Amino acid sequence: MSGSPGKVDTSRTGGVENPPVIILIEPQLGDNIGKAARAMLNCGLVDLRLVRPRDGWPNERATANASGADIVIDNTRVFEREEDALADLNRIYVTTARTRDAVKPVFTPRGLAPEMRANIGKGEKIGVMFGPERTGVRNEHIAMADAVVTVPLNPGFTSLNLAQAVLLIGYEWWQAGVDVPDYQMMMNDSFPATHDEVERMFVHLEHELDESGFFRVEEKRPAMERNIRNIFTRIGLTHQEVQTIRGMVSAMRGAKHKPKPKS
């Protein structure tokens, strides 16, 4: 075994002192290990364990492909036996896309995330095991696990590379612990316009449209005014946008009344 776990920097893990461990069984290319490490740190995972990496460890290609996820690479531990890599874990999940003979609970990554957080909240140490890139996990690996994780993908093509698989598990883990709205408006330095500001803009715009002869058919005017208002209320104008629209309307009126240059 090489490497040491070190103390977890909770500023890199979303405040979790004991995030899930990622175990890669017989990973082949250092590039794939590095990309998996990058995916891990994206999701606040920092404990990476390798079992019999084909090209040895440390690996320059892994460091290069980690793209700055040095905390993962530097603390990576290498084991010769799966049993040693899993020894200190209370609960182990194994990822596979194949149907096996063993009777095991099966989670999706989304279903697994709250399960892992609940068990970690009880003080348990959790690990997620990934098999070799070419063959995936073997039956003996599934026998070591408490449950199986399967990603619901296109039944006709379920193949994932190592980093993709790690990212799918890690992403759901991270999302289960953050409170981010599914939709929000990016306001930058502006703020929403008040109802009064928007109303004054409508009055200004409608006045200029009236002066220009836009409302030619009087009986259609109420519906046209509603349509105009719906256009602007639907997009949620900011204070600055209201000021800009009013400036545009004023500029067009000024241009209309500006004397034409003499030829």
pLDDT value at residue 260: 57
pLDDT value at residue 29: 94
- Report d(CA 144, CA 189) in Å as an integer: 54
- Report d(CA 21, CA 82) in Å as an integer: 13
According to DSSP, the residues that pair with 93 across neighbouring strands are 128, 147
pLDDT value at residue 38: 98
pLDDT value at residue 49: 98
Quickly tell me which residue has 């590039």 as its tokens: 31
| Helix, strand, coil distribution of the chain in percent, nearest 5 | 45, 10, 45
Question: 60 to each of 27, 31, 39, 56, how far by Cα in Å?
Answer: 15, 9, 18, 10
pLDDT value at residue 55: 95
As a whole number of angstroms, the longest Cα–Cα distance in the chain is 92
The helix (run of H) or strand (run of E) holding residue 242 is helix 239-257
The helix (run of H) or strand (run of E) holding residue 171 is helix 162-175
CA 122 vs. chain centroid, Å, equals 26
Question: And the tokens for 105?
Answer: 């609970």
Contact 153, 26 (CB under 8 A): no
Question: And the tokens for 158?
Answer: 């379920």
Per-residue confidence of the chain (263 residues) as pLDDT tens digits?
555 555 667 777 877 889 999 999 999 999 999 999 999 999 999 999 999 999 999 999 999 999 999 999 999 999 999 999 999 999 999 999 776 667 899 999 999 999 999 999 999 999 999 999 888 888 899 999 999 999 999 989 988 999 999 999 999 999 999 888 888 777 777 888 999 999 999 999 999 998 888 998 999 999 999 999 999 888 888 999 999 999 999 998 776 555 556 65
CATH number of the domain located at residue range(s) 195-257 in this protein: 1.10.8
The helix (run of H) or strand (run of E) holding residue 195 is helix 195-211
Question: And the tokens for 253?
Answer: 């009126």
Residue ranges of domains in the chain: 10-175, 195-257
CATH topology of domain 10-175: Alpha/beta knot (3.40.1280)
